[in-house]
Amino acid sequence: MATQTHDYKRHGTTTFFAALNLADGKVIGTCQQRHRHQEWLRFLRLTDQGTPPPPAPRGSTWSNDSSATSPSTASGAASSKSLDELHQAIAAYLAAHNHSPKPFIWTAKASEILAKVQRARSSQNNT
């Protein structure tokens, strides 16, 4: 069920999906005119084409993006010169980044992360 009115338009906005390949640092990204589960599935197919099969079960991190959790998201399509420029700028950034990507290297220690989580929990309990 749509939550927007019949005349809702996403003027000057775009939907941008991106995935970081931790092994080589490359980013797969795409701009979509709409923001529905169909676009999300199209992006997932794009990532499957652009990455080799994982050697073991892989973990995934998703945002709280409604297209990742909802069977449909009602939104209008916007087409404007500024939106086209935005898409071109995003594509240029991705091309430049992927020209010389760097693998992601985790530098935080598990003990430091767990200590921060514990501090956050204790501060929430104190409020």
Tens digit of each residue's pLDDT (9 = 90 or more) over 45-59 = 888 886 766 554 445
Residue 68: inside a domain:
yes
Residue 4: inside a domain:
no
Residue 50: inside a domain:
yes
Domain range for 113: 15-125
* pTM as predicted: 0.51
Residue 3: inside a domain:
no
Residue 8: inside a domain:
no
* Segment 6-28, tens digit of pLDDT: 666 666 678 889 988 888 888 98
The upper half-sphere exposure of residue 98, i.e. CA atoms within 13 Å in the direction of its Cβ, equals: 15
Residue 54: inside a domain:
yes
Can you list the pairs that 91-100 forms with residues at least 24 positions away whose Cβ atoms lie under 8 Å? 91/31, 94/18, 94/27, 94/29, 97/26, 97/27, 98/26, 98/27
Residue 6: inside a domain:
no
Domain count, the chain: 1
* Segment 84-110, tens digit of pLDDT: 888 888 899 999 999 999 988 888 899
Residue 73: inside a domain:
yes
Position with higher pLDDT, 88 vs 73: 88
Report the SS3 class of residue 44: helix
Q: How far does Cα 31 stand from its chain's mean position?
A: 10
Beta-bridge partners for 19: 28
